[in-house]
Amino acid sequence: MIVGVLVELTNKNVDRIFDYNVSESLVPHIKIGIRVVVPFGKMELEGFVLEIKESSSADRELKNILSIVDENIVLNQELLNLGKWMQKETISSLISCYQVMLPKALKAKNGENISIKYDTYYVLDSSYDYDKLLEPQQRIIDCILKDGFILRKDAVDISLSSVKTLLKHHILKEEKKEHYRLSYSNQNLVKKELTPLQSQVVDRVIHDEEKVFLLHGVTGSGKTEVYMEIIDYYLKQGKSSIVLVPEISLTPQMVQRFRERFGSIIAALHSALSDGEKYDEWRRIYRGEASIVIGARSAIFAPLPNIGVIIIDEEHSDSYKQNDPSPRYHARDVAIERAHYHHCSVVLGSATPTLETMARAQKGNYQYLSLPERVNGKSLPHITIINMNDAMKKSRGHFSLELIDGIRNRLEKREQVILLLNRRGYSSFVTCKNCGYTFKCPNCDITLTYHKSSNTMRCHYCGFGEKVYQSCPSCGEKALNNLGVGTQRIEEELMNLFSDIRILRMDYDTTSRKGKHEEMIEKFQNHEYDVLLGTQMVAKGLDFSLVTLVGVINADTSLNIPDFRSSENTFSLLSQVAGRSGRAKKAGEVLIQTFNPEHYSICYAAKHDYQGFYEEEMKIRKLLKYPPYFYICNIRISGKNAEYIFDESYKIKRCLERNLHSTIILGPSSSGLFKINNIFHYHIILKYKSDSSLYPTLEKIVDHYKSNSKIKIDIDFNPSQML
């Protein structure tokens, strides 16, 4: 027998199948989709078996595979086909497409041993005359007769010598059962009654199958209840479901709601889990022990059979697009491809759909569904725009008097507040008031961010950090100044404004430790804190009944990013965070501080007017030939030698000009972040509607440079960010 193996190396030079012989002893265990260990040059590598055949066209003597890693198939036929589709769509290596589908324990090669955990049980092995047992031995037998077993780790009050005696005489025996690191007990399952409008949406989805639906529902309209009702329908048909959420911070609340409805048949897959927990969850799914998978982007690859529906909540989020490393896929596209295989539906849910999604719905490519009202009959929160050009004259720090009064009012009423500032750290950068010197990362073209808690300046791109200087290294003066504002500084200002305020800061710095998201959400839910202060992770999906005020410290942060989506991202972020206010019985209020009070994205967000914003933004997109009117492709060219990369970028442009005749070619130009970790970056932007030469030309360029270690070419179709 001969097998074709795809080895673990991601280098494009070896991104192909290599043939190996299989010894007779291993033949019975060979299956397509398992991992094997093979000799490769002077190395021993893991790889995936993709072919089984009787002969080879290789012009060399074939080597034998060394061993088999898996008893069971790791990549089933659907995932194997999906990987080949991803390779073609993203112009990536095939092995990278397969690696992204799997938990670390199943990747070739994971580099460490992630073991399966087991519990040991004592059970009765045979009949015996129990009257002849000693008293400690009899107590052990009585416990087993009562419960059927004793779990060894819980047997703290039991004589180990008595257990050993009973095992020796075959009265007891040990049994091992796999122990999952996560557990989902069956609770008292809760099902809420749907509103007539929610029921209409559910009926549309389950009776009009194999379609892509856009569920456009305002914040608080009960989209999650609709998702669960659709999933419940397919469960009764014997079908499984995938639910994607954009942020790790949303996963605990979503998992809890699904546990309350469906019990232990759910599994979670997201980056906050340990490698062992992901491995356990993956095996539960693979074995059919979980029928509903909830997770972030990578959960779209869950090895579920017979999928009935795939749901992407908050579909507007750019976290569904993988930016680095390759393959640069979008979870929505993968979901639609999997839906073709399973003949199932995809539901895209959002209060602020992307312009591309809404345009497809209006053209009829997607089926449009609407939930225009909150389920409790409450109106959306009242939003006030605070012009900081005027308010700064009377403000205290970064807080206008209106926002200060609003927070004080909620504290007096024992209600809660969410404050959004989309920037972590204490300040944006440190500069010298005397000579203007600014501290920058030595590896990246970016200023260092000051973190007061550790008194360090850190780069948020490569991780470089250093202690804060006492004086300027350029002029020697003690004139250093912190400019800009981060979440740490806002927290400090709040504590100075309100003596007894309880503040919970949620950003990357405070949530990096495992389990912190869940812990923070639970504490805020239990009203252990008055204010939840955070970056954009506090803006989406969270549901707290006591939150009646949302404050946006600076609405202009996302507007100032040099990206054609900056207005859309600003509108979406403001609309989403506003939706956290007044979700229960009490009315909600939102205060937006801005230096651009007349900008259309802020004005339409203040009026809860998605349609108005959509129409305004579409005019601009059409004029500038941006999505959804044109597709975008970003060709990234990077390397350590800036001059060499610049020259090669122009060679690539000339190749594009020779081969592409209906595509707009912009650049090359330096990327927004020109230097990251001592690597220089240029990019070329392509705008196109349809060009049959595009993919062949890009594949030719990638192939030309694949052996050149001085340059790296990355292709990013429909990038979520242009930096």
CA distance 126 to 170: 7
| pLDDT value of position 426 | 47
Please tell me whether residue 264 adopts helix, strand or coil conformation.
Answer: helix
Indicate the average pLDDT of the chain. 90
Polymer length in residues for the chain: 723
Q: Point out the least confidently predicted range of 56-60, 231-235, 544-548, 651-655.
A: 56-60
Residue listed under structure tokens 């799914």: 285
| pLDDT value of position 448 | 85
Please, what sign has the CA dihedral across residues 487, 491, 497, 503?
A: positive
Tokens at residue 431, please? 């500069």
Average pLDDT over residues 85-99: 95
Average pLDDT over residues 461-484: 84
Distance separating the N- and C-terminal Cα atoms of the chain:
50
Does residue 205 register a pLDDT over 60? yes
Please tell me whether residue 540 adopts helix, strand or coil conformation.
Answer: coil
Closest CA to 555 of 519, 602, 488: 602
Does residue 700 register a pLDDT over 60? yes
SS (H, E, C) 175-223: EEEECCCCCCCCCCCCCCCCCHHHHHHHHHHHHCCCCEEEEEECCCCCH
- Per cent of the chain over pLDDT 70 is 95
Does residue 108 register a pLDDT over 80? no
Q: Point out the least confidently predicted range of 56-60, 71-75, 641-645.
A: 56-60
Q: Strands 345-350 and 307-313: what pairing? A: parallel
Average pLDDT over residues 246-250: 73
For residue 286, the surrounding DSSP H or E stretch is helix 275-286
| pLDDT value of position 156 | 59
Closest CA to 100 of 259, 264, 217, 271: 271
Bridge partner residues of 688 (DSSP): 631, 663
CA distance 308 to 237: 8
| pLDDT value of position 157 | 66
Q: What is the pLDDT of residues 150-193, one digit of tens each?
A: 777 766 567 778 888 888 878 888 888 887 877 766 666 778 89
CA distance 58 to 185: 54
Does residue 73 register a pLDDT over 60? yes
Tokens at residue 630, please? 């044109």
| pLDDT value of position 128 | 63
pLDDT interval class at 234 (50, 70, 90)? very high
| pLDDT value of position 177 | 82
CA distance 113 to 109: 10
